[in-house]
Structures are given as C-alpha cells and as structure tokens.
Amino acid sequence: MGLSERDRAILDFERSWWTQPGPKQGAIRDRFGLSATRYYQLLGALADSDDAERYDPLVVRRLRHLRRERLRARFEGRSAGGRPQR
C-alpha cells in the first residue's frame, strides 16, 4: 500500500526531533496535531511496516530495537534504562 505523506513525516521527525528546541511532546502536538499517545501508536505501527523500513531502515530498526529492550526490561522486572528491581 505504501506510506502516506503523514507516515513519511513522522519517520522524518523521529529521525531528527532531538535537534529541535523544546520538549518532544510539544513538537509532536505542534507539527502533527496529535497527542503523544496517538503519535506513539502510529509510530509503533510504522515500526512494524515493511514500507517504513524501506523508506528509513535506520529509524525503523532503532524503533524495533528500543521496543525489544523495553519488552526485555519488563520481562526482567526492571526499567528499560536501569538495573533489575529487588
């Protein structure tokens, strides 16, 4: 089916949002008119998309890696960036 213009814009934004001033949530709201929750739902769906991987393989692989790390951390009972909880 291919990516929509919004899908490509989300991937482009995710590639470089950290270079922009201010918090990410505000930039999401300003640029896309979406709540952060909805943005991350769309981003998660894009991470599963072969079309998105063809468009920006580095971003999609990074998103998949981060998701695996969060799942692993949850399984191990720790925060994604921290040590195991006791």
User: Is residue 85, in this structure, part of any structural domain at all?
Assistant: no
User: Is residue 82, in this structure, part of any structural domain at all?
Assistant: no
**Domain containing residue 71:** 5-76
User: Is residue 81, in this structure, part of any structural domain at all?
Assistant: no
Check if the beta carbon of residue 37 is closer than 8 Å to that of residue 28.
no
Domain count of the chain? 1
Q: Which is more confident, 86 or 9?
A: 9
Mean pLDDT throughout 48-66?
96
| pLDDT tens by residue, 5-55 | 999 999 999 999 888 888 999 999 999 999 999 999 999 999 999 999 999
Q: Phi then psi for 38, rounded to 5 degrees?
A: -65, -40
What is the predicted pLDDT for the residue at 84?
A: 52
Q: Answer whether 0.75 is exceeded by the pTM.
A: yes
79 alpha carbon, distance to own chain's centre: 18
User: Is residue 83, in this structure, part of any structural domain at all?
Assistant: no
Cα–Cα nearest to 9, from 48, 54, 39:
39
User: Is residue 20, in this structure, part of any structural domain at all?
Assistant: yes
User: Is residue 86, in this structure, part of any structural domain at all?
Assistant: no
User: Is residue 33, in this structure, part of any structural domain at all?
Assistant: yes
